Amino acid sequence: MKEKISKLLWHQLGGVYCDSCEYALSDERCEGCHRKYMNWAISKEAADGLADAIMEIVNDGKTEKMDS
Q: What is the pLDDT of residue 39?
A: 62
Give me the number of domains the chain comprises.
Answer: 1
| Domain region containing 20 | 2-67
Q: Annotate 7-27 with b (16+ C-beta within 10 A) or e (fewer).
A: eebbeeeeeebeeebeeeeee
pLDDT digit string, tens, across residues 12-64: 776 666 666 665 655 666 766 766 666 667 888 988 999 999 999 999 877 77
Whole-angstrom distance, CA of residue 34 vs CA of residue 38: 6
Whole-angstrom distance, CA of residue 49 vs CA of residue 37: 22
Residue type, 33: C
